[in-house]
């Protein structure tokens, strides 16, 4: 397998709006991120993924871009961005930009221009305008964020397609001029010194030629009802090959593609180095194991066997050819300690256990801000305190159209709202958690007095120190990056164990996903294993007879 810097890298995701507010308007900004670079360097991360910072009306907090060449007012200026970029580089770290290619904001100049009907309007074809069917929407497609995926526009006298919010019209990638505009835009950022791209929702770029109705939602729960008709559409690989040729191959950079509704086999096609498309993928399958038949808002109990099967399938399918981003948290997902761990009695233990399990797999680990101190989900009583467009749409549709009660809908929101991960970063126990001097744009989690960076740094047994240790291990042992994966104890309902092998080195990872003690027996190795790291005081036990405490994690090395 080819060795490259980005396979060895640990990526830290910053959600700029909630990271650190330097100018006292209650909204995080670029200067705020710059203030905290030493903190990130100290943790040991290599790449900083900056959520979208382009000009945007913020219907979907930056994922609705109105100008790709300018910085959002609330976040600062292009000078601030340049300064942040050079300060990141000065510390030996790299910068990843979030690139949104599937849609723009409805306030983007292209969309505004596209409204004028007429054959010589070149922008008309940048989007999907359609006259509709018998006086209504062109088909029954629903948007990911609820309601029809089509909206009528008076001025344009037509419907436009929006897979996400109504303020995020989808772009038409069969249009060559549009593609060239996007390639120029990406080169603009690479010329400025960007080292990596995270490509947003990028397996949705190709739309089917015909607008046929979708079947009711299938088992592929991460997609909207029309998703299976769109994801990985015909010709999508040609687009990435062209993009790679026009953009990626010309710079010393790497790409990670965010793709929902992708199987491991498809994931390999996108990331197989020989195909020259994308470098790596952030897939969703393992995050969808607690989605019910009704979709992602319906929560069913976490099943470790299902989770293990998915992880193993992806590890084995891509092994030696493709590459993945390893994650359990991001700005779209509830916090994993609250979701599948235990955020009260075993918060620290479970946070460390999840980190061990995910970071020791083959791939590049992604750490989402606050994860490194074990931040938890949020519970607001009032829907008015939520900010996320997906959550607000869901509440309105469930209460107003489907007639469900406030209390019932709030239960779903507590489990799955994206705002769980978007409350301000908890820096210390001062007002507003040290995030801002003003009232933050979204309320701080009240547990900030206990769970915060200052406390975590001061306590050698904190989640933070454990994360730093995991990152250090990765730098010391190549087997963590490049070792071959093999699942162990595959049938065990509560323990996830696997081994990684590189040359003469074997890494063994054993993680207890339950709040109960577990006894497991692994094959006795030829030489005595060394315990590299554990989230409990070391237990000198042979591999073939181990007593795991609640959420215990152990990493062994055998040479
Ligand atoms: O989170 C999901 C389910 O609600 C996914 O379907 C997700 O919306 C999808 O994979 C794309 O996510 C990305 O693009 C969205 C944006 O809202 C998300 O924050 C972003 O990560 C639209 O740009």
Nearest to 12 by CA among 368, 460, 340, 511: 368
Q: What residues have CB less than 8 Å from 173, skipping those under 6 apart? A: 101, 179, 205, 206, 207, 239
- pLDDT value at residue 103: 98
Q: Yes or no: say if 511 and 497 are a contact pair by the CB < 8 Å rule.
A: yes
Lowest mean pLDDT of 47-51, 65-69, 212-216, 403-407, name the range. Answer: 212-216
Nearest to 296 by CA among 221, 404, 220: 221
Instruction: Report which secondary-structure segment, H or E, holds 109.
Output: helix 109-114
CA distance 96 to 13: 9
- Mean pLDDT confidence for 41-62: 98
CA distance 349 to 536: 8
Q: Is 75 in the pocket of ligand 1 (CB under 6 A)?
A: no
- Mean pLDDT confidence for 432-460: 98
CA distance 145 to 159: 17
CA 147 to centroid of ligand 1, rounded, Å: 16
- pLDDT value at residue 229: 86
| pLDDT bracket for residue 539 (50, 70, 90) | confident
- Mean pLDDT confidence for 484-488: 98
Q: For the whole prediction, is pTM greater than 0.90?
A: yes
- pLDDT value at residue 217: 58
Of all residues in the chain, the percent with pLDDT exceeding 70 is: 98
Domains assigned to the chain: 5-105+176-467 (3.20.20.80), 109-161 (3.90.400.10), 484-558 (2.60.40.1180)
Q: Is 98 in the pocket of ligand 1 (CB under 6 A)?
A: no
Ligand 1, atom 19, residue with closest C-alpha: 332
- Mean pLDDT confidence for 33-43: 98
Condensed to tens digits (0 to 9), the pLDDT of residues 87-114 reads 999 999 999 999 999 999 999 999 999 9
Of all residues in the chain, the percent with pLDDT exceeding 90 is: 92
Mean per-residue pLDDT over the chain, rounded: 96
Q: Yes or no: say if 143 and 161 are a contact pair by the CB < 8 Å rule.
A: no
CA 202 to centroid of ligand 1, rounded, Å: 10
| pLDDT bracket for residue 293 (50, 70, 90) | confident
Which of 332, 334, 418, 419 for a ligand 1 pocket mutation test, highest count of atoms within 8 Å of Cβ? 332
Q: Yes or no: say if 29 and 65 are a contact pair by the CB < 8 Å rule.
A: no
Q: What residues have CB less than 8 Å from 537, skipping those under 6 apart? A: none
Q: Tell me how crowded residue 348 is: count the other CB atoms within 10 A of its CB.
A: 22
Region at 428 (left for phi over 0; alpha for psi -120 to 50; beta for the rest): beta
pLDDT at 225 over 70: no
- pLDDT value at residue 1: 77
pLDDT at 282 over 90: yes
CA distance 440 to 317: 44
Region at 201 (left for phi over 0; alpha for psi -120 to 50; beta for the rest): left
CA 386 to centroid of ligand 1, rounded, Å: 17
Which of 13, 63, 284 for a ligand 1 pocket mutation test, highest count of atoms within 8 Å of Cβ? 63
Condensed to tens digits (0 to 9), the pLDDT of residues 63-86 reads 999 999 999 999 999 999 999 999
- Mean pLDDT confidence for 279-303: 95
Quote the crossing angle between the two packed helices 236-246 and 176-191, to the nearest 10°.
Answer: 40
- pLDDT value at residue 187: 98
Q: Is 64 in the pocket of ligand 1 (CB under 6 A)?
A: no
Report CA Rg, the chain. 23
CA 87 to centroid of ligand 1, rounded, Å: 29
Q: What residues have CB less than 8 Å from 139, skipping those under 6 apart? A: 133, 150, 211, 212, 213, 214, 226
- pLDDT value at residue 227: 79
- pLDDT value at residue 214: 87
Distances (CA, A) of 338 to 376, 406, 517: 6, 22, 20
* Beta-bridge partners for 281: 257, 324
Max Cα distance, the chain (Å): 76
CA distance 203 to 227: 10
Q: Is 296 in the pocket of ligand 1 (CB under 6 A)?
A: yes
ipTM for the assembly: 0.94
Condensed to tens digits (0 to 9), the pLDDT of residues 344-391 reads 999 999 999 999 999 999 999 999 999 999 999 999 999 999 999 999
Distances (CA, A) of 92 to 88, 117, 250: 7, 51, 22
- pLDDT value at residue 119: 81
* Beta-bridge partners for 534: 554
Encode 218-275 in three state secondary structure.
CCCCCCCCCHHHHCCCCCHHHHHHHHHHHCHHHCCCEEEEEECCCCHHHHHHHHCHHH
- pLDDT value at residue 216: 66
- pLDDT value at residue 508: 97
- pLDDT value at residue 221: 47
Condensed to tens digits (0 to 9), the pLDDT of residues 171-209 reads 999 999 999 999 999 999 999 999 999 999 999 999 998
CA 145 to centroid of ligand 1, rounded, Å: 9
């Amino acid at each position: 397998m080819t060795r490259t810097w980005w396979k060895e890298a640990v990526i830290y995701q910053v959600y700029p709006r909630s990271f650190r507010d330097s100018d006292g308007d209650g909204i995080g900004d670029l200067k705020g991120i710059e203030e905290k670079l030493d903190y990130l360097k100290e943790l040991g991360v290599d790449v900083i993924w900056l959520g979208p910072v382009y000009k945007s009306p913020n219907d979907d907090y930056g994922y609705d871009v109105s100008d790709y060449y300018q910085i959002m007012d609330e976040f600062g200026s292009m000078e601030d961005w340049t300064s942040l970029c050079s300060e990141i580089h000065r510390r030996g770290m790299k910068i990843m930009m979030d690139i949104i290619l599937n849609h723009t904001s409805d306030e983007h100049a292209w969309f505004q221009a596209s409204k004028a009907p007429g054959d010589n309007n070149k922008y008309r074809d940048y989007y999907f305008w359609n006259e509709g069917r018998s006086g209504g929407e062109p088909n029954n497609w629903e948007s990911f964020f609820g309601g029809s995926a089509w909206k009528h526009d008076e001025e344009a006298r037509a419907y436009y397609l929006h897979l996400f919010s109504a303020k995020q019209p989808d772009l038409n990638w069969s249009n060559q001029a549009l593609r060239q505009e996007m390639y120029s835009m990406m080169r603009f950022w690479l010329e400025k010194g960007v080292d990596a791209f995270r490509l947003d929702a990028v397996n949705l770029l190709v739309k089917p030629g015909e607008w046929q109705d979708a079947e009711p939602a299938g088992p592929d729960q991460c997609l909207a009802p029309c998703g299976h008709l769109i994801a990985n559409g015909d010709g999508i690989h040609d687009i990435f090959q062209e993009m790679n040729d026009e953009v990626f191959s010309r710079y010393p950079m790497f790409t990670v593609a965010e793709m929902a509704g992708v199987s491991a086999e498809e994931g390999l096609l996108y990331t197989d180095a020989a195909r020259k498309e994308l470098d790596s993928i952030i897939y969703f399958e393992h995050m969808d194991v607690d989605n019910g038949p009704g979709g992602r808002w319906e929560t069913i109990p976490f099943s470790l066997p299902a989770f293990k099967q998915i992880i193993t399938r992806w590890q084995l399918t891509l092994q030696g050819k493709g590459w993945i981003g390893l994650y359990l948290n991001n700005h779209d997902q509830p916090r994993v300690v609250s979701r599948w761990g235990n955020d009260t009695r075993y918060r620290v233990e479970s946070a460390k256990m999840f980190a061990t399990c995910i970071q020791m797999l083959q791939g590049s680990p992604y750490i989402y801000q606050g994860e490194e101190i074990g931040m938890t989900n949020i519970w607001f009583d009032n829907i008015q305190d939520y900010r996320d467009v997906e959550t607000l749409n869901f509440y309105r549709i469930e209460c107003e159209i489907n007639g469900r009660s406030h209390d019932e809908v709030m239960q779903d929101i507590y489990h799955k709202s994206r705002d769980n991960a978007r409350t301000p970063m908890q820096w210390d126990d001062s007002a507003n958690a040290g995030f801002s001097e003003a009232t933050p744009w979204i309320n701080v989690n009240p547990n900030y007095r206990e769970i915060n960076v200052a406390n975590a740094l001061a306590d050698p047994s904190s989640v933070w120190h454990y994360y730093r240790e995991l990152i250090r291990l990765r730098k010391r042992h190549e087997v963590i990056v490049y070792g071959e994966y093999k699942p162990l104890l595959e049938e065990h309902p509560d323990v996830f164990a696997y081994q990684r092998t590189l040359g003469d080195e074997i890494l063994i990872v054993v993680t207890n996903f339950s709040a109960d003690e577990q006894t497991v027996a692994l094959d006795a190795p030829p030489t005595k294993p060394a315990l590299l790291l554990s989230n409990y005081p070391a237990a000198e036990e042979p591999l073939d007879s181990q007593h795991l405490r609640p959420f215990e994690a152990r990493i062994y090395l055998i040479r």
